[in-house]
Amino acid sequence: MTRPFTILLLLLVLVVPCFAETFPKTLGHVELADGDTLVFLGDSITHQCLYTQYVEDYFYTRYPNRRIRFHNAGVSGDQARDALIRFDEDIAKFKPKYVTVLIGMNDGHYEPFDNETFNTYKKDMTELMDRIAAIDATAIIMTPTMYDMRPALMGENWLKPEQIKGMHYNATLAFFGAWVLEQANERGLGFVNMYEPLNRPTREQRKADPAFTMIGDAVHPGPDGQLVMALALLNDIGADPVVSSINIVRDGDRWITEAENGTLSDVSADKISFTFTANSLPWAVPEEAALGYTITNAGQRMSRETLRVTGLSPGRYELRIDGDTVGVYDHLELSAGVELQANDKTPQHAQSMQVAELNKQRNEKAIRRLRDYWLGLKQNRADLEASTEKATKWYAQFKKAVPELHDRVREFEDEIHQINKPKPHKYEILKAE
């Protein structure tokens, strides 16, 4: 009896692994080198050109010497099926290395969960992921964002309040999001949770203000909500959170200065004085997204620019950069480390804001207009197939305007890359009067 049992056990050990399913590694982090392209594919929330803009701001300032190309492929009202229709000309044509996919808000049709609707979403999203893989790009799948019932119940939405109460659309979107997470895991794709980062701070803020919302019309996040989205994307793709760090330590009568992600020069040993040229600038965003930046602690989480001084005598000290006082700190604060990324008195912050404002113009004056033309193409598609005179005339305008707007985008990018290079700055720490 012992021998047959041993043989059976041996067969199980040898055979069972043959049936074990293997899975690809999950995408750990995104690597964008000089010349690579990142496409943002989505619906109206991407068409808004906000979270995409803030992500671009991060890359323009964190990697100023890389010419990374960004293409916004958002079209208002789109479902996954619409993205498939324009896939070749609006996505594949740009030969992306990565494609972020934010599709789903419209796919549920703003109705209570329906299994047939969900099956259509699964089918079209599956085809979309297959199409992205077929062009040798990596998809970064994002969950649908938050549907905020509170402003909707207050009438800030096209649906009537009585329709909304029994709809629970936020739950439908959560279900869609759970499915795309499974797909990302099975395929080894990138994944970004856009749902929870919007819901969580909304709940936190409503502890003090029940009317708080970042999604004024229930669907489209405003600048603050879009900053939350940008941070979620950067966090989930493994973006580098460090801008630079400077550490200064007393060694007897001397000061020893070390730095990360930058170069030191003109270092004085008998006093705290040196010139520092960072490799990166802090991540700054336009003023309209400041609240989102603050409530998510985005600077500390994704733009750490620190200065630490250990060994100072008790007292208060001025930090001067290029001769201007940018802050006054006591010796304990400096020993613990001060964060400078959100200090609007530093020349680095001012330079980052110049980049952010120029990129804002790039999005408003060129990219948003491009996306409006693509929306027009969707709206005119049936008439174009019928070859109506009006649609044919409009399409001629489309064919002329789109290349011109792409040229304008590149002109803005050239300007950005002229002003986004970090400069040397002289630092001094002096006893405050």
Q: Is the pLDDT of residue 20 over 70?
A: no
Higher pLDDT among residues 166 and 118, named by residue: 118
What distance, in Å, lies between the first and last C-alpha atoms of the chain? 93
pLDDT at site 322: 98
pLDDT at site 28: 81
- pLDDT tens string 254-269: 999 999 999 999 999 8
CA neighbor of 109 nearest in space, from 98, 120, 117, 101:
117
Q: Is the pLDDT of residue 14 over 70?
A: no
- pLDDT tens string 376-403: 999 999 999 999 999 999 999 999 999 9
pLDDT at site 155: 80
pLDDT at site 6: 61
Higher pLDDT among residues 266 and 6, named by residue: 266
144 and 104 Cβ atoms separated by less than 8 Å: yes
The residues that bridge with 256 in the sheet, in sequence order, are: 249
Lowest pLDDT segment from 128-132, 227-231, 290-294, 355-359: 290-294
Distance of CA 295 to the CA centre of its chain: 16
Lowest pLDDT segment from 3-17, 92-106, 405-419: 3-17
227 and 285 Cβ atoms separated by less than 8 Å: yes
313 and 348 Cβ atoms separated by less than 8 Å: no
Q: Which two tokens mark 8?
A: 């059976």
Q: Is the pLDDT of residue 223 over 70?
A: yes
68 and 59 Cβ atoms separated by less than 8 Å: yes
Task: List the Cα angle 251/253/257 in 5-degree steps.
Answer: 50
CATH 3.40.50.1110 residue ranges of the chain are: 37-236
Classify 7 in phi/psi space as left (phi over 0), alpha (psi -120 to 50) or beta: alpha
pLDDT at site 8: 57
Per-chain mean pLDDT for the chain: 93
C-alpha atoms less than 13 angstroms from C-alpha of 66 in its C-beta half-sphere:
20
The whole-number average pLDDT for the span 80-99 is 98
**Assigned fold of 37-236:** Rossmann fold (3.40.50)
Lowest pLDDT segment from 159-163, 174-178, 266-270, 358-362: 159-163
Q: Is the pLDDT of residue 166 over 90?
A: no
Distance CA 291, CA 145 (A): 19
Please tell me the pTM assigned to this model: 0.93
The residues that bridge with 280 in the sheet, in sequence order, are: none
Which band of pLDDT confidence, cut at 50, 70 and 90, is reported for residue 9? low
Kindly list the distances between the CA atom of residue 56 and the CA atoms of 65, 233, 300, 311, in Å, as whole numbers in the listed order.
Answer: 14, 11, 18, 39
Helices of type H across 237-330: 290-295, 298-302
Task: List the Cα angle 140/145/149 in 5-degree steps.
Answer: 170
Q: Is the pLDDT of residue 19 over 60?
A: no
Q: Is the pLDDT of residue 56 over 70?
A: yes
- pLDDT tens string 333-365: 999 999 999 899 999 999 999 999 999 999 999
CA neighbor of 311 nearest in space, from 294, 332, 325, 292:
332
The whole-number average pLDDT for the span 208-226 is 95
pLDDT at site 309: 97
Q: Is the pLDDT of residue 17 over 80?
A: no
pLDDT at site 254: 93
Task: For the chain, give percent helix, strand, coil, nearest 5.
Answer: 50, 20, 35
Which band of pLDDT confidence, cut at 50, 70 and 90, is reported for residue 161? confident
Higher pLDDT among residues 5 and 109, named by residue: 109
